[in-house]
Amino acid sequence: MATQPRRKRRKSAAQGAQSSPPDQHTTGFALGNFRLPLILIAVLLLLSFTSRVQQSDVLVWSFVAATVVLAFWLGYLLLLSSRRQEIHDFTVVLRPQHYVQALVQISLYIYWGYYWRPVYEHAWLIIAQLLFAYTFDILLAWSRRRDYTLGFGPFPIILSINLFLWFRDDWFYMQFLMIAVGFMGKEYVRWQREGRNVHIFNPSAFALGLFSLVLILTGTTSLTWGQEIASTLTLAPNIYTFLFLIGLVVMYFFSITLVAGMAAITLFAFSALYNASAGVPYFLDSDIPAAVFLGLHLLITDPSTSPRTPLGKTIFGVLYGLGVFGLYTLLEILGAPTFYDKLLCVPLLNLSVIAIDRTVRSIKSASLLNVWRADWMGGRANLAHMSVWIVVFAVMTLLGRTDGKHTGDSLPFWEQACTDGLPNGCERLVQLKSTYCNDNAAWACNELGVHYRQGLIVERDVGQAQVYLSQSCELKFKAACANLLDNSLVLTDDPHELDLRLLLREGGLNLMSASLDELHVRACEHDWQFACDSNGNNL
């Protein structure tokens, strides 16, 4: 979500105009009007001298290149303005949908970053992106001979992009390009909707969707922090509740409940249906991945790129839920990272908005059209929608479908699912073990090595087996070392203490301070038989 319904925007614009006396922003042509972008460019350049940016030469040069491009563009406009005697000006409009959204996003960064420090280390780079975005947006508006609407508009776009994807330092120039494409998409990809010329795509979702597609097609996901971002949100305790609460703020102010709520309800419903029929969770270790839960609050709730009618919003939310649900499997089949599921369908949904509006208009049944405006809502439809959403979320939480331990967190569950031949049981087992092996759980690496050596649940690959066994052995898992020495062995062992600290984290932080007894109790809750036996012996 980046903007707000027309009715409120007009009000905000009026307030903004009142707070900015005309003589402050109609000073005629002078360097004064160019002072702001000039200062922004200078600060961007100054940021390249911070220790965070100086860590990487490519990062420094990315900043310098961005600065040079913007400076040339500014110089060109200055020259043109001077020749044509044009005035480039600002209109100050502080829209609540921008600054409220930005505050909500910043609160998420603070909470998430407290548990995953790379977020805080990324702060300087986010500030740089904001400077770049403001300057780019100003220059784009002036190049189009429009006054620039100065407010908090770029904040939700930049903060939203960075909640899903950021490039590693050695490819950070791509981040600037992604922002540029987002703003250009907003400026140049437009259509007539209800008699108004509006942008088709949500700017952040457009940039994220396009770049995600390119990353998938070129197999370069590793150039970004996308996977880490998607998987570290749950390091923050009770992240679903946190997202739910900050989502309520946005829902209350900007009436996005139908879109976000219906998307979530659709996903919960389909996850539950799949679980009931297949016996295993659809998503690996959640009913809705936390990053998807975040996405349905941020990426599809922009009023200018989503339907306006209540029924249209409902359809839009449901379609997003279905889109994420389908893309997850599609990406898995294609061997692409599944975390792109929440990003790829948004531009397609944006394109379907006119069709949805048209469909809704074609419905002749007044009762159907007004189902969300029934009398029992007492004329406060949004509050009623929010109440329903609160009840749904509370029920899902009570059922253990949001925060806390999830069935899919338990490795023995997936072992059993694989043995029983349940759908995706073995694939998810291998996927989960790969995740833990990447985190240096020696037990998981040995298990993978054995799987690849045996070739029973994955295609036999002796080389890959050796890689995993070596990693496990170097992490002091003796069974793996023995397996390495004799190609005919497939020795396994129970997880060691350090392994348990990783394997039992349930999506949260590693359990580095838990005692061995506490680990064994928790392991027993995860159905690790050796831990239950150990607990029994201790009693």
Partner 1 sequence: MTQQSDGTHVNTEKVPGRTVGFTAMTLIILAVAFWMSRESSRLEINDSGEAIATGPALEGFRSDAWYLPDDELLGFVAVAAGSFIMGSNPALDRMAYENERWSNLRRQGSVDLPTFYISQFETTISQFAVFARSSGLDISNIDLTGAGNLPIAGITWTEALAYAYWLEQQLRESIETPAELRTFLESGARVTLPNEAEWEKAARSTDGRVFVWGSQPRTGRANFNSDALSPVGALACPACSYGLSDMAGNVWELTRSPLQDYPYDPADDAENLSADPLYVMRGGSYSDPINNVRTAVRGAADPGVRSDTIGFRIVISTL
Query: Rule CB under 8 A: which residues touch partner 1?
Result: 21-23, 25-26, 28, 84, 86-87, 89, 91, 140, 143-147, 171, 174, 177, 180-181, 184-185, 187-190, 210-211, 214-215, 217-220, 222-223, 466, 469-470, 473-479, 481-482, 484-486, 489, 491, 493-494, 496
Listed in sequence order, the DSSP H helices in 279-424 are 290-298, 310-334, 341-351, 353-362, 366-369, 381-398, 411-419
Closest to partner 1 by CB, 189 vs 458, is 189
> Count H helices, E strands: the chain?
27, 4
In whole angstroms, give the CA distance from residue 429 to residue 443: 13
Residue nearer to partner 1 on the CB measure, 35 or 84: 84
Least distance CB 501 / partner 1 (angstroms): 16
- Least gap, CB of 135 to partner 1 (angstroms): 16
CB 433, min distance to partner 1, A: 18
Closer by beta carbon to partner 1, 460 or else 476: 476
Instruction: Name the nearest CA neighbour of 323 among 342, 304, 350, 301.
Output: 342
Asked whether 480 and 442 are in contact (CB, 8 A), the reply is: yes
CA angle 38, 43, 44 (to 5 degrees): 95
* Residue number with CB closer to partner 1 (181 or 269): 181
What's the closest the beta carbon of residue 169 comes to partner 1, in angstroms? 14
Of 456, 379, 433, 308, residue with least CA distance to 6: 308
Q: Is the dihedral of CA 74, 79, 84, 90 positive or negative?
A: positive
Question: Shortest approach of partner 1 to residue 272 CB, angstroms?
Answer: 38
Please return the burial class of 476, using the count of CB atoms within 10 Å of its CB with bins 0-12, 13-18 and 19+: exposed
Which letter does DSSP use for residue 408 in this model?
G
Q: Which is nearer to partner 1, 405 or 478 (CB)?
A: 478
Closest contact distance (angstroms) between CB of 127 and partner 1 is: 23
Nearer to partner 1, 121 or 474 (CB): 474
HEC sequence for 127-183: HHHHHHHHHHHHHHHHHCCCCEEECCCHHHHHHHHHCCCCECHHHCHHHHHHHHHHH
| CB nearer partner 1, residue 141 or residue 262 | 141
| In the complex, least distance from residue 425 CB atom to partner 1, rounded to whole angstroms | 27
CB of 305 to partner 1, least distance (A): 17
CB 176 to partner 1: min, Å: 11
DSSP 86-112: ----EEE---HHHHHHHHHHHHHHHHH
| Mode of pairing for the β-strands spanning 196-199 and 190-193 | antiparallel
Closer CB to partner 1, 420 or 497, in the complex? 497
Three-class DSSP labels, 24-74: HCCCCCCHHHHHHHHHHHHHHHHHCCCHHHHCCHHHHHHHHHHHHHHHHHH
Angle 526-527-533 from CA coordinates, rounded to 5°:
120
Would you say 22 or 421 has its CB closer to partner 1? 22
Q: At closest approach, how far in Å is the CB of 403 from partner 1?
A: 34
CA angle 37, 162, 173 (to 5 degrees): 60
Q: Between the CA of residue 287 and those of 86, 96, 207, 319, 439, what are the distances in Å?
A: 56, 32, 27, 17, 23
Radius of gyration of the chain from Cα atoms?
26
3-state DSSP helix/strand/coil % of the chain, to nearest 5: 70, 5, 25
Among residues 30 and 214, whose Cβ is nearest to partner 1? 214
Q: How far is Cα 430 from Cα 447, in angstroms, rounded to an integer?
A: 9
Task: Give the shortest CB-394-to-partner 1 separation in angstroms.
Answer: 43
Closer CB to partner 1, 247 or 337, in the complex: 337
